[in-house]
Amino acid sequence: MSDPNIQVSYQQQPLVNGFYPNSASNFAFYDNNVLFVGINQVDGGALGDESTRVHANYIWVRDNMAQYKSKGMRVLVIFSHAR
């Protein structure tokens, strides 16, 4: 069951040779003072430079934490997924 009041934001990460496929997007949503963040984990595949991806994931988590800290965020849950 889904809650229509929860809005999910997505980050489509650009690559030098184009964009990640849709399945490689990072995502975040916030509910009941809990921030849920999903990151596309480095899997050693051919999706691009691994250090760039790790840094982009760090920035994604950091920026989302900063956005929700003032709204009373008390818990952070991180999901990671890979191809």
DSSP 3-state of 2: coil
Contact 15, 55 (CB under 8 A): no
Question: Which residues have C-beta within 8 Å of that of residue 9, sequence separation ≥ 6?
Answer: 27, 28, 29, 64
Amino acid 1: pLDDT: 42
pLDDT of residue 81: 78
Closest CA to 27 of 52, 40, 9: 9
- Sites in the chain below the pLDDT cut of 50: 1, 16, 22-23
Q: What pLDDT sits at residue 32?
A: 92
In this prediction, residue 49 carries a pLDDT of 67
User: Which residue ranges make up each domain of the chain?
Assistant: 9-81
